[in-house]
Amino acid sequence: MADWQEITGGITAPRGYQAAGITAGLKPSGLPDLALIFSEVEAIAAGVFTTSQVKAACVEYCRQRLQAKQSARAILCNAGQANAATGTQGYLDTLESAMAIAQALNISSESVLLASTGVIGQRIKMDALRSGIPKVIAALSETGSDAAAGAIITTDLVTKSIALETTISDRPVRIGGIAKGSGMIHPNMATMLAFVTCDAVVSPHLWQQMLARAADRSFNSITVDGDTSTNDSLIALANGQSRTPAITELGAEAEKLEAMLTTVCQHLAKAIARDGEGATCLIEVQVTGAYDEISARQIAKTIAGSSLVKSAIFGRDPNWGRIAAAAGRAGVPFEQENLQIKLGNFLMLENGQPLQFDRAAASAYLKKASVGTYLQQDTVLISVNVGNGYGVGKAWGCDLSYDYVKINAEYTT
């Protein structure tokens, strides 16, 4: 049993946080497009960002900020324009955005972090942003998580949010998070954004390590279409308002906090994968028997990202050969005669040998997932064993439908 419980409130569930989301006129659709997350006190800040060589201005800005100062009070996110590949002016727009929100909040610009999402090559609509800043500040609320979650999405069909609570030193500690992402998802930290808040007291170095490990086991283990975004950003704040003793080194309390952080990130990551553009189901790949966790995750992510596997799942075709082929090209050595593959409860390959199975029933299993309850009964489980090693890893993806091509063929038109 997990040593925590799910609660309401999203990113404003932890103590000392407010959030808001408004319509500032950044999106042509007229939908909400400007979000603000605000900590009442200076919070320890950590971040994990895209490894793409083409980075949005906000990513470069946040990296420089966090290298100079591992704390922040505000995260401002605009949706509609990615502000990536926009040159010097795009970076100047980012600096102006940070300065404008800082002055309006009466805090240092060094305490502001930024994120953007939208069409690559388009600058932020600065007039709309400037006029939106007073409005988003006025809208800040301790119950503003849902509004913020709605203001950061683009092609997403649903908002993504979670909050968990545990007990450390006999006091409640909470972690909340929101995320966006539906297409251009193959994080190598996709467009993918995630923001996490926590009210524990954690040392900056340890909080960054925890976040990096959580990212590897969540956002870096999902894929929708194999495209890594220019704007990937995962930012986490820990403001200490739970008044618990400081966690400064590895130990039982640090392990509990990191496990809860990882669970929050995994929930958001799975929600992103399930909401993949045109998707009808979530795919979860579990790999066992590898040499180590990294190897197992590599095999799992290769299978989850295979266009042929994803297409077969959409077609409700239990074609295990595509799973075997994807595992084999993952770049991880294993003996073919040890390979085992299961689709749900259907064992299809054992000791490298094909087995007879009920194809109609296996196809029905795939069809059932496509109409299952969101993030409950809508998951196709692929289980793969590659040997006798201790490495275990998971990855998540979604099926590849006709609608994915339609959505992306018409993205800017």
Write out the catalytic residue numbers: 191
- Provide the pairing of β-strand 34-49 with 17-22: antiparallel
Nearest to 183, CA basis, from 413, 33, 27, 408:
408
Q: Are strands 112-119 and 71-81 parallel, antiparallel or unpaired?
A: parallel
Distance from C-alpha of 57 to C-alpha of 92, rounded to nearest angstrom: 9
Other beta carbons within 10 angstroms of residue 33's beta carbon come to 30
Instruction: Give CA–CA dist 191/232, Å, rounded.
Output: 6
Q: How far is CA 291 from CA 155, 188, 367, in A?
A: 38, 22, 34
CA distances from 117 to 153, 184, 281, 349 (A): 8, 11, 24, 42
11 φ/ψ angles, rounded to the nearest 5 degrees = -70, -15
Using DSSP bridges, classify how beta strands 160-168 and 171-180 pair: parallel, antiparallel or unpaired.
antiparallel
